[in-house]
Amino acid sequence: AGAAPAPAPAAATLSKRPEDVAADELVAWVLESGGKANVEVRRNAAGVRGLYASRDIAAGQDIYSIPLSCILNAGDMQDFSLPTLALLREMHTPCSRFSAYVRAMPPPAHQFNGCNLPLSYVSLLQSSYWEEQVMTWRSLLTRLLGGELNDSAAVLLPEAVGRAADNMTLAELQYACSLASSRYITGEPRQRMLLVPLFDMANHRPGCPHAVRSFERPDPSFRLVAGERIRSGQEVCYSYGDMADDVALVHYGILAGGRHTDPPRLLMVDHHLFDPAAGSNLVPPLPFEPTTDKERRRELKRLKARLAELRELDRQAAAQPAPQPEPGYEHALELLLRLQVIRREALEAEITRLGALGKAAKMSKARAQSEL
């Protein structure tokens, strides 16, 4: 008689996904290691996990500070596979000090970008530039898996994961690549690819003003500084860059919201400043401003031709069975199909805008002549 029953674990803990329990442990590890965190990791109503302020944070204050001992440094920026291998190394190292970090990663069913795009989806990108990019990444991973001896490679697969290389699958490599490539950060003053716990829990918001400070003296820790006041409970965002929707989808598995801009933002591959040979992924969101009517007509012709090509693809697709979702990649298919719609809407809007510019110019010319 007498002993009170042990308190039941809170419902929230019971229902927590393993990666979310690990995320709490990750915060504890960062704090134990001397870091500071005015944030916690939570999910929003739509189930997207992110960072939330655990108290009010004034503009200019640190949102968190991550000690260097908690950063996974994947080396310099020459080798595409390094962040993938750095992550895999920790995933296959028993008692890794990054164990909470790797356990907090989204599982394969919730992880998607161009690294693990199913082959059957590649043509849905409807862009030779993106299709080539994705196939190049796939081929680099395939060669890494095949143990191709490349004397210039910084790290080979068995060097990173030991005997686990014997049983590694392309799917596992693609998953690790997708995780690493959507999470690492590079930048001044050290040009290194860094996987930073907690930093990589912040979701993208275009124009988010919070800024990273790192390797400063006397405090070299990795800090995120509030660019505006954040109230307790508010989501802590980070701007992944000024991305068009195709860039956001291939690099982060998200749509950046380009259709909501005015005018709707063209995909990078449709933008007048896009140069596939330059290999740059960032095209400024500057609308085309013709200085002459000839320029305007040339751009209008280019856009109409692009839209006509896409309409032709639509006609061909309508005669085929609808694309089938690959198990675990249902959401990815939805995003790709939505990107196709956004692309056409943005082209149509730009064609309308340039057409209207021409009409307005003609009318003002006619008015000027009638006044003479």
Ligand X SMILES: C[S@@+](CC[C@H](N)C(=O)[O-])C[C@H]1O[C@@H](n2cnc3c(N)ncnc32)[C@H](O)[C@@H]1O
Measured from the CB atom, the residue of 106 and 287 that comes closer to ligand X is 106
Structure tokens given for 121: 């989806």
Nearest to 87 by CA among 15, 202, 174, 191: 174
Measured from the CB atom, the residue of 113 and 127 that comes closer to ligand X is 113
Sign of the Cα torsion 115, 116, 122, 126 reads negative
CB 245 within 8 A of CB 267: yes
Nearest to 268 by CA among 257, 277, 259, 280: 280
CA distance 226 to 234: 12
Measured from the CB atom, the residue of 66 and 307 that comes closer to ligand X is 66
Looking at the DSSP bridge assignments, the partners of residue 213 are 223
Measured from the CB atom, the residue of 338 and 353 that comes closer to ligand X is 338
Structure tokens given for 263: 């005018």
Measured from the CB atom, the residue of 35 and 50 that comes closer to ligand X is 50
CA distance 99 to 159: 19
Q: What is the closest distance, in whole angstroms, from the C-beta atom of residue 26 to ligand X in the complex?
A: 10
Q: Which residues bind ligand X (CB under 6 A)?
A: 48-50, 106, 113, 182-183, 200-201, 203-204, 252-254
Q: What is the closest distance, in whole angstroms, from the C-beta atom of residue 37 to ligand X in the complex?
A: 15
CB 265 within 8 A of CB 285: yes
Q: What is the closest distance, in whole angstroms, from the C-beta atom of residue 165 to ligand X in the complex?
A: 26
Measured from the CB atom, the residue of 133 and 182 that comes closer to ligand X is 182
CA distance 76 to 9: 45
